[in-house]
Chain A
């Protein structure tokens, strides 16, 4: 199975400031079709996860443009340009290249 490693695991951020989360995979997520099969999800407290970014850099429908994803191969980054209070929760990266899909440990974003 592909191992996903996130950092940091805890991320205190001041509202209005940027934030970034790193995700590394144990093998390349770049498919021969040119897509990187890396997704980002946000799970707010008491809620089910929601898709933020798919295929490395594509925002899911309805996701604010302050969220962006980048990277290729084995190294990926989720960036929030200006953190808002509603962005609090646990962020997970997940490889969608092969079964079983595997998740990172999660990064807990909190407001300072």
Chain B
């Protein structure tokens, strides 16, 4: 069974930092594209970043402040968030790209974690 479990969220002051983790199990972690998606309170879903075997991408609004990484030996995805702003307040979800046996589905969010809330406030 595929499981994604996020942790590391919390309350932080503007300008502060947090490191989110996503522990993966039930699949060959290193073989899949992994994503961070966020949802501000009462709002919709927004792609934040992804990491593949040979590349990384960020949304413009986090470029230079957030860093995505992965430890394939530990089956864990990370998001280092620096210089946090009030507008970064959201639930952060990690997601796995790709449906089993469906080639070319790497950008589909086949599985999601339960999310970890991040609040940036004084």
Contact = CB atoms under 8 A, between A and B. Distances in A.
User: Do these two chains interact?
Assistant: yes
A5 to B, nearest CB: 12
Q: Main SS of chain B's interface residues?
A: loop
A49 B57 contact: no
A101 B99 contact: no
Nearest to B60: A100
B59 A49 contact: no
B108 to A, nearest CB: 5
Interface of B: 44-47, 50, 57, 59, 93, 99-100, 102, 104-105, 107-115
A76 interface: no
A51 B107 contact: no
A3 to B, nearest CB: 13
Interface residues of A, number: 29
Given A100-B57, A106-B44, A60 B105 contact: no
B47 A100 contact: yes
B66 to A, nearest CB: 14
Contact of A92 (B44, B107, B113): B44
A70 interface: no
Contacts of A49: 45, 93, 109, 112
B50 A51 contact: no
Contacts of A33: 104
Contacts of B115: 48
A51 B2 CA distance: 13
A40 B27 CA distance: 23
Contacts of A105: 44
Contact of B107 (A43, A50, A99, A106): A99
A98 B50 CA distance: 12
